[in-house]
Amino acid sequence: MSSSPWWYGIVPFPVVILTALAADFASQAFFAAARSPDSPLGMDVAWFVLQTLAVWIGVLVAVVVLVCLLADLRMLSGAETWSPSRFWGLAGVVHLGGAVFTELLFVSVPALTYYLYRRHLHVGRP
């Protein structure tokens, strides 16, 4: 079956970039607020909560992307138009790691972009 709807779950992978940037900014702001005696009461706690929330949202989105990528690979296996390798699943695993270790996003984002591009060329729209 070449018309797999699972690719819709792969598309929001750039959200992980935004959550990683938000977590990094909140982390820096947390340490600045914790060191500053002029910081309003509870500001460091607010930045910590924002950082934690951003990290967990990024992990959740990355898990959704990984699951949808693996399901899409399974649905397309043996398709007449394009049968991608299971090796593409590593891009999803690296992306999940990128939710915590942002340097991994330099590998996973181009890989997932290329996967969706190749999928569009061979399968087209569902």
> What are the structural domain ranges in the chain?
9-122
Residues 23-28 have a mean pLDDT of 94
**Which one-letter DSSP state was computed for residue 42?**
T
What integer pLDDT is reported at residue 40 of this predicted model? 84
Residue 1: predicted pLDDT? 45
Band of residue 125 on the pLDDT scale cut at 50, 70, 90? low
Buried b (16+ CB within 10 A) or exposed e, 95-123: bbbbbeebebbeebbebbeebbeebeeeb
Q: In whole numbers, what is the pLDDT of the chain averaged over residues?
A: 91
With a cut of 80, say whether residue 124 has pLDDT above it.
Answer: no
The pTM of the whole model exceeds 0.95: no
Please determine, for residue 44, whether its predicted confidence score (pLDDT) is greater than 90: no
Query: Can you give the pLDDT at residue 59?
Result: 97
